[in-house]
Structure 1
């Protein structure tokens, strides 16, 4: 073998000895080792003279994939095609097994054709690669199992990166999308808070989101958004808020009942005394005092009417029990009718009661269901009071539905159902000084009893507020409230 043109033999040896890559030179026909550079000798632990007689089993790992047949096949591919690459595990003189990346190249020498094998130790590199692969696999598993979604947005709010959890929460098409199309409240989060997200056409859900700037060298830079679903928590808070309002209402209701009882008790005594005085005075007047007698008769009637009002009030507010009992829905309506008619008379509204001929047994808290009846009827009276007097009619009906439930409906001829779909959430009122809480409380009371409350358009005009309560077998006689 002669050195390259322009190089002395000594210079050529210095160059080959300086190589960090290991080099073995094989005969292209017999595959015998012809020569090795210093790096190969130092790595394998043999001199060139000791390497020449060695065969593949002498210097390769004792494993099937490193057999002599496979080694010859690899070198033969290089001899035939010019180059061939493989991973080969050499065994050093000390017994140490060295995994290498080996490249076999056909070389046309002056005296013969040879196959030059260049190889380097890749054991440490393979270990690092395995560690990186394991770390990447773990990170993917962690990110895929996160409840939080992670997206990185550029300055134009386009998604640069989306985690598997983010695509699972929102949409598979997040990568490269405009994140603004997923923000149901019209703004892309820039600070910590609660937001509603949804894929186009999907139902919005509530998410808690946090934002921070992220910059990973030149690979990823932008606003990182972390978010997780809190829809159940928001709904629970909303239910708690409604329950709190309901309890506040009951507290005010009970306080009102106590005050009404006290007023009824205190006023009934002077009314009774006034009634007795008027009766006594009328008995002492002679027959010629017709005008005085007429005035006293009317005074008696008014006092008697006031006594009946107080008696009805005491009967009604005196029943503030919180336990359910079996009763007739028709009886509850009749019990409320007096107060509904009083409200209607103030506005010259006619109230028609069309009650079912048969009993409608339900299990409920009488006072609460009575409160719903009066609330719906009072709303209908107030709505109808805006109409011309000839059209001021409210109809209250009860019936048994096809599935056996007890139903009450209040119909008016007003302006129709409220336009707000959240009419039973305490946000709607058509009254100048109303709060809208009455319908929300009515909805909660009916739902608490396992019933439904809804509103529909009345024909040809107006609204129908209707609630149903679960049926009770008719063989249980209802308790008269």
Structure 2
């Protein structure tokens, strides 16, 4: 193809979509404008030539004539000058532009060629982006959650300011750092495994990691890990994490509290058992002592009857065997205190407690009524702890009834199904709940017993709550109180161990 002619260059120049104005380098008057400039400003070339800066610029102070002239003069003196200028169209619309003035030496003399483009939308977009970025930065700075992006080697590609705050380091210095160095050895190993196995495009993975504190303080982070790829610009594992140290400590304290609760409940159970056993054992031991004393008396007299001696010794032996059986029962019960959670039938738990309850009732001349559910009520629980709750509720009812006339001394123990729950209910005919001010029954602060400390009901409630159940109290009809514990029944029940 032949070289471009002057006419060709003229056509190309006319076809420019970039706006061009040509000013005289000395007078600053407009001597030419391309069609694009005429279209944008709404003037013809002939209309543009006589115009001065005030005629075609915004009235704002930063676009005053002297400022525009000084800008063109800088281009004339130094070859080029750039400015943000607001032109005003023939329709009196302000047009914000980025304008570049360039000195061009023509054969007829120097001129200043101004090239400009409308940047109003672009500037508005930039301002919107700037505001959005500012808001995001503010949000990120004030987030309780830290944000980092890690590469395949667990090195930080991006870190928010909140991440730096949580890690106790300057966020700007995290780039390129090995994130796992902030974790203890076990947590670092688990985190690397998660990073290596987190699928691209898969669901996020959650975990807990312990921080390796330089000052000896132990801290914990809850971390959500997900692989991201933002237009190929930021690719890696996104970690969102927040400090859960207080939560972990609370959980540990709860575990210690639960252990203490179990310990206390077991000691209470052993105490109740010991009191009952002491009463039970005293009777056969006293009877055996009497039989032995009778045998000794016969030996000291005349005309010893061997048959009567054998009878006395046999009965003494029987009473001693009965005491041994009672002690063996106590041993089995104490061993049972160490059993962990298992499947149990609430009917059987009540049956296991029946002997001790009966002893307490006989001591106080209280009659017992038993109402058992026909079907098994299978729950998952620590049998001895729930048994302790049953005895606590029942002993309270018996002690309450001991204060009333003999004809009212009745306590009812019932088991039943209530929808998805198994329920054990203890009913008495005493004064009801009037002894508990403002309904504060289970808080451990009040008791109707002279020598009581109120811890029984509070402890019982905590035991049942830990098993996912509830304990509640209500007035009995026509008089007295009803205490009931409810535990969730199992939907599918495997065979119980006997």
TM beyond 0.5: yes
- CA distance in structure 1 between the aligned counterparts of 2:16 and 2:263, rounded to whole angstroms: 91
Q: Tell whether 2:212 aligns with 1:187.
A: no
CA distance in 2, matches of 1:14, 1:127: 34
8 Å contact kept, 2:84–2:96: yes
The answer to which of 271-280 and 177-186 deviates more is 271-280
Shift of 1:144: 2.3
User: For the Cα contact (< 8 Å) 1:102–1:119, is it kept in 2?
Assistant: yes
Structure 2 length-normalised TM: 0.54
What are the superposed Cα offsets for residues 77-133 of structure 1, whole Å, 9 maximum, x if unpaired?
111111100000000000110000001111112122211111111111111211221
2:384 alignment counterpart = none
User: CA offsets, 1:219-256, max 9 Å, x none?
Assistant: 21111122111122222222222222222222222221
How big is the alpha-carbon RMSD for the aligned residues of Structure 1 and Structure 2?
A: 2.9
Q: How far apart, in 2, do the equivalents of 1:13 and 1:92 lie? A: 25
Which residue pairs with 2:466 in the alignment?
A: none
Q: How many angstroms apart in 2 are the aligned matches of 1:174 and 1:112?
A: 59
Which residue of structure 2 lines up, in the alignment, with residue 145 of structure 1? 142
Alignment of 1:79-478 (within 5 A): 79-170=76-167, 171-172=169-170, 173-184=173-184, 185=186, 186-189=188-191, 190=194, 191-198=205-212, 200-201=214-215, 203-275=217-289
Show the counterpart of 2:47: 50
Hey, what does 2:333 align to over in structure 1?
none
Structure 1, gaps ≥5 residues long? 288-302, 311-481
Which whole-Å CA distance do the structure 1 matches of 2:289 and 2:166 have between them? 75
Closer, same or farther in 2 for the Cα pair 1:69/1:84, shift >3 Å?
Answer: same
> Where does residue 7 of structure 1 map in the other structure?
5
Distance 2:154 2:247 in 1: 28
Partner SS for 2:157 = strand
Alpha-carbon contact 1:207-1:229 (below 8 Å) kept: yes
Q: How big is the shift at 1:273?
A: 4.1
- Could you tell me whether the CA contact under 8 Å between 2:213 and 2:219 is conserved in 1? no
Stretch deviating more after TM superposition (199-208 or 132-141): 199-208
CA distance in 1, matches of 2:47, 2:87: 15
Q: Would the alpha carbon gap of residues 122 and 188 (structure 1) be closer, same or farther in structure 2, given more than 3 Å must change?
A: farther
How big is the shift at 1:217? 2.3
Report the equivalent of 2:343. none
Match in the other structure for 1:60: 57
Distance in 1 (CA, whole Å) between partners of 2:137 and 2:88 is 37
Work out the CA distance in 2 between the residues paired with 1:67 and 1:27: 19
8 Å Cα contact 2:146-2:240 kept in structure 1: yes
Q: Deviations over 1:432-451 (max 9, x none)?
A: xxxxxxxxxxxxxxxxxxxx
- For the pair 1:69 / 2:66, whether they are aligned, the reply is yes
Q: Structure 2 vs 1, CA of residues 202 and 164 (structure 1 numbering), >3 Å: closer, same or farther?
A: farther
User: Which stretch shows the higher mean deviation, 268-277 or 202-211?
Assistant: 268-277
- Residues 100 and 116 of structure 2 are in contact (CA less than 8 Å); yes or no, is this contact kept in structure 1? yes
Name 1:23's counterpart in structure 2.
20
Change in 2 beyond 3 A, CA 1:6/1:269: closer
Cα separation, 2, equivalents of 1:111 and 1:164: 61
How many residues get paired? 289
Aligned to 2:260, what secondary structure does the other structure show?
A: helix
Per-residue deviation, 1:271: 3.0
For residue 35 of structure 1, report the CA deviation from its aligned partner: 0.9
Query: Are the equivalent residues in 1 in contact too, given 2:227–2:236 (CA < 8 A)?
Result: yes
1:33 correspondence with 2:47: no
| Contact 1:179–1:188 (CA under 8 A) maintained in structure 2 | no
